Amino acid sequence: MVDAEHPYAISEETEASHTDSGRFLAAGAKRSFWVRTAAGQLGYAFLGLTRIIEQSENAIVELNSILQFF
């Protein structure tokens, strides 16, 4: 749930499914995460997302708005 008290959520997808993150697993990704924030609030999730990316040999980020942080 994303709200004022919990401005972001990051969950790891564990099964191939019809979701975008599930399709990454179906295509051969080792791990896939789903990041949810309110519109314009990606900054709250950035630290958690950065930790995931730093621990990964390769990463695909399907989110244009993350470019504002790089």
Token readout for 46 is 């950035």
**32 CB-contact burial (10 Å; exposed 0-12 / middle 13-18 / buried 19+):** buried
Q: What is the pLDDT of residue 40?
A: 85
Residue 64 confidence class, pLDDT cut points 50, 70, 90: confident
Full-model pTM? 0.77
Tens of pLDDT, residue by residue over 15-56, are: 999 988 899 999 999 999 999 998 888 899 988 999 999 999
Separation in Å, CA 49 to CA 18, 24, 30, 32, 60: 22, 17, 16, 12, 12
Q: Is the pLDDT of residue 1 over 80?
A: no
